[in-house]
Amino acid sequence: MASESLVDNYKGLSIAAIILGAWIWSLAVGLELDLGSCHPILIAVLVAIKAFLHTGLFIVAHDSMHNSLLAGKPEANRWIGSLMLFLYAGLDFDLCERNHNLHHQFPETENDPDFSPDRDNDTNIMNWYAHFIGNYIHSSQLMKLTIGWLTIYWLASMVNTSPIVNVLTFCVLPLVLSSLQLFIVGTWLPHRHSNHASLNATPRSLSLNPIVSFAACYHFGYHREHHESPSAPWFELPKLNLANKAV
């Protein structure tokens, strides 16, 4: 029983290590690739994989904010979450944690930093997206992101004669795609059409097959389950969604 408990406690950390390792691998492959000799479909597939793994960095950080990556180890959660957010976009852990706590405390209200202040939030998706992103962008974050990309450019220049194209393709583009993935699947779809803005607001879960849900955004589409059980790690959400359907 003790060994099973140990495995459960470190399951999230093990998956996080796999995501990080795969992300580093995809970055190395992408930066070294001669894009001029690659088929566009291959490039598109590699960009999609890189974007998905990039989203995975944020998902790991998100579990860290809820202290569910390593149960009972808040400092380890904070350290790992800070690393993942730095790699993701130079984001600040304290800012993200504060905003996310507000999102859970005041869902779909004016105090929710992730919710659109627009009443007509269905048709103004880009306004909502700009509002969503704007709450996490600041000068310090942009500086860290720029330094990170310049460092990657410098490393890529050692193995590639045109590193700028590869950095744009495998760093900038995946970040944009990942932010849209997190916003659309994890925020806009679960929280749109809100006519019940209150502290008791319950976001909807998307009706997705678990495999599709994983591919869509690491089960963030099961958003009702996440709000009802915020300490549950992302890979436990399908089980909670199934239990809700059985009720």
Q: What number is the average pLDDT over the span 229-235?
A: 95
Query: Which range (5-19, 114-128, 167-181, 197-211) has the least confidence?
Result: 114-128
Q: Is 84 a member of any domain?
A: yes
Is pLDDT at 197 greater than 60 in this prediction? no
Three-state SS sequence of the chain: CHHHHHHHHCHHHHHHHHHHHHHHHHHHHHHHCCHHHCCHHHHHHHHHHHHHHHHHHHHHHHHHHCCCCCCCCHHHHHHHHHHHHHHHHCCCHHHHHHHHHHHHHCCCCCCCCCCCCCCCCCCCHHHHHHHHHHCCCCHHHHHHHHHHHHHHHHHHCCCCCCHHHHHHHHHHHHHHHHHHHHHHHHHHHHHCCCCCCCCCCCCCCCCCCHHHHHHHHCCCCCHHHHHHCCCCCHHHHHHHHHHHHHC
Q: Is 109 a member of any domain?
A: yes
Q: Residue 118: what pLDDT? A: 67
pTM over 0.95: no
Q: Is 232 a member of any domain?
A: no
- The distance in angstroms from the start CA to the end CA of the chain is 30
Look at the chain and report how many structural domains it folds into.
Answer: 1
Is pLDDT at 237 greater than 70 in this prediction? yes
| Cα 138 to Cα 30, 113, 172, distances in angstroms | 28, 15, 17
Mean of pLDDT over the chain: 90
Q: Residue 6: what pLDDT? A: 47
Q: Is 36 a member of any domain?
A: yes
Q: Is 199 a member of any domain?
A: no
Q: Which domain holds residue 145?
A: 2-184
pLDDT in tens, 76-104: 999 999 999 999 999 999 999 999 999 99
Q: Is 221 a member of any domain?
A: no
**pLDDT confidence band for 4 (50 / 70 / 90):** very low
Which residues, including other chains, have CB under 8 Å from residue 58's CB and lie 6 or more apart? Answer: 84, 85, 88, 178, 182
Q: Is 220 a member of any domain?
A: no
Neighbours of 194 (CB within 10 A): 20
Q: Is 38 a member of any domain?
A: yes
